[in-house]
């Protein structure tokens, strides 16, 4: 579903992504972990047509995001680190607007919009302005909106940052349900190591623009002799994990 070969991105004299390669098969939940500034978001921006690579080959469901941008965008949904909802519209209006922009037929977008809002436990709040929703509700709405056009791949860039543990668990339960029932491929970045260990089938760890390890959580722990994914992460990157700092922010 995702193919990356020899991907490089330079900003002047700085190499943000340095010759990385990986494949993600259909239906996999793929964790992409690394310290701040390691190249995670830059990689996502290249995969989602928002940034042009310096060099390398990209394919998204067989489509080249560089030369077939419109077709590539039909294949993925994305939830950015920063909020992207229109806070002066209702939850339902945000869904409707997304459906119109992606040319989803009216009947389809209304039926699927209802299904997604019910799945993400937002149906009762569909008429409420986004600015009146809690942080967890807004995040769930962003994911529901990103799935409205039935994408093959869902990119989640730190989607649960700042959410309380209950909201995090609720969100992942719903994402896992869609991954299982619709075979949606999920490309995930997070600083919560417990999320990655619990959710991801495989994990790539990127540090200073290079992938330093890739495999299941069990394989990464075995490779480093670690008891937890966080310990493996520290051993592979030599950089303090963000986990404790993030936990302090929400706790």
Residues 98-150: tens digit of each pLDDT: 999 999 999 999 999 999 999 999 999 999 999 999 999 999 999 999 999 99
Distance between terminal CA atoms of the chain? 37
Residue 205 reports pLDDT greater than 90: yes
Q: Are 9 and 16 in contact (CB under 8 A)?
A: yes
Q: How many CA atoms lie less than 13 Å away from 42 in the CB half-sphere? A: 26
* Average pLDDT for 89-106: 96
pLDDT of residue 81: 82
Q: What is the pTM of this model?
A: 0.89
* Mean pLDDT, range 197-207, rounded to an integer: 95
Q: How far apart are CA 197 and CA 10, in angstroms?
A: 31
- Mean per-residue pLDDT, 84-105: 96
Q: Indicate the average pLDDT of the chain.
A: 91
Query: Residue 243's pLDDT is what?
Result: 41
Spatial separation of the C-alpha atoms in residues 188 and 194, rounded to whole Å: 13
- Distance separating alpha carbons of residues 215 and 200, to the nearest angstrom: 10
Span 198-226, mean pLDDT? 96
Per-residue pLDDT, averaged over 57-75, amounts to 94
Indicate the helix (H) or strand (E) that contains 195.
Answer: helix 193-199
CA distance 251 to 245: 10
Residue 249 has pLDDT above 60, yes or no: no
Report whether pLDDT(171) > 80: yes
By the 8 A CB rule, do 208 and 38 touch?
yes
- Bigger pLDDT: 26 or 82? 26
Strands 2-11 vs 76-79: parallel, antiparallel or unpaired: unpaired
Provide mean pLDDT across the span 187-204.
94
What pLDDT is recorded for position 156? Answer: 94
Per-residue pLDDT at 161: 85
Q: In this structure, what token pair is assigned to residue 140?
A: 């769930």
Burial 198-217 (b: 16+ CB within 10 A, else e): ebbebbbbbbbbebebbeeb
Residue 246 has pLDDT above 50, yes or no: no
Average pLDDT over residues 146-162: 92
Our CA angle for 195, 248, 226, nearest 5°, is 45
């Amino acid at each position: 579903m995702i193919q990356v070969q020899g991907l490089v991105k330079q900003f002047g004299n700085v190499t943000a992504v340095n010759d990385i390669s990986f494949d993600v098969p259909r239906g996999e939940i793929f964790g992409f972990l690394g310290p701040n500034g390691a190249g995670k978001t830059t990689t996502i921006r290249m995969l989602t047509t928002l940034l042009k690579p310096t060099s390398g080959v990209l394919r998204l469901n067989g489509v080249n995001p560089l030369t077939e941008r419109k077709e590539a965008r039909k294949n993925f949904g994305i939830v950015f680190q920063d909020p992207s909802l229109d806070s002066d519209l209702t939850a339902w209006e945000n869904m409707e607007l997304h459906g119109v922009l992606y040319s989803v037929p009216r009947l389809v977008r209304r039926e699927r919009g209802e299904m997604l809002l019910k799945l993400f436990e937002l149906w009762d709040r569909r008429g409420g302005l986004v600015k009146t929703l809690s942080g967890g509700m807004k995040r769930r709405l962003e994911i529901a909106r990103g799935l409205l056009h039935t994408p093959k791949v869902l990119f989640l860039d730190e989607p649960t940052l700042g959410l309380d543990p209950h909201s995090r668990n609720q969100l992942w339960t719903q994402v896992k349900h869609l991954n299982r029932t619709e075979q949606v491929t999920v490309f995930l970045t997070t600083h919560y190591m417990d999320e990655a260990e619990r959710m991801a089938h495989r994990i790539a760890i990127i540090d200073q623009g290079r992938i330093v390890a890739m495999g299941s959580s069990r394989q990464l722990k075995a490779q480093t002799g670690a008891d937890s994914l966080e310990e493996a992460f520290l051993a592979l990157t030599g950089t303090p994990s963000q986990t404790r700092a993030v936990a302090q922010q929400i706790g």
